[in-house]
Amino acid sequence: MEKNTHPLLLIVDDSRMSRMLVRAIVADSRPDWRIAEACNGDEALQIVAEECPDYISMDVNMPGISGLEAAGRIRMRHPEARITLCTANIQESTREAAARAGVHFVAKPITAQSVADAIAFFEA
């Protein structure tokens, strides 16, 4: 089976509205990207086990394992994955934890600019 050449973005957020917003903004600016969604960290890990996304947008505060924990687990198995924490949890401790985990940080609310910042990191 040949690898799909279109980048895969996984949007992980327990807010359906947030996932829809990120999807709409990305689909508008990067129509060739494939997009998958997960509503929590556990579901994200299942998707990653099947096909590791090129890019992951991860909320922090979700039911089950936190986005930081999920990002850490993904990072251990797939160090090449580009992960952005997209969260309203903007405390310095969260920013520092993101830096330690080797993931990018983008503050919510989700706007065209915050998604553009994440895309710029993904494509850097």
CB-count burial class (<10 Å; 0-12, 13-18, 19+) for 123: exposed
| 90 lies in some domain | yes
Place of tokens 């129509």: 31
| 3 lies in some domain | no
Report the C-alpha gap between 5 and 3 in whole angstroms: 6
The CATH number for 44's domain is 3.40.50.2300
Q: Give the domain extent around 57.
A: 8-123
Type and span of the H or E element at 19: helix 16-29
Q: How large is the angle between the packed helices 112-123 and 16-29, nearest 10 degrees?
A: 60
pLDDT bucket at 1, cuts 50 / 70 / 90: very low
Own/partner pairs for 90-96, CB < 8 Å, 24+ apart?
A: 94/60, 94/68
Query: What is the tally of structural domains in the chain?
Result: 1
| 31 lies in some domain | yes
| 1 lies in some domain | no
Report the C-alpha gap between 73 and 2 in whole angstroms: 26
pLDDT bucket at 117, cuts 50 / 70 / 90: very high
* Structure confidence by residue, pLDDT tens digits, 18-53: 999 999 999 999 999 999 999 999 999 999 999 999
Taking 80 as the threshold, does the pLDDT of residue 2 lie above it? no
| 97 lies in some domain | yes
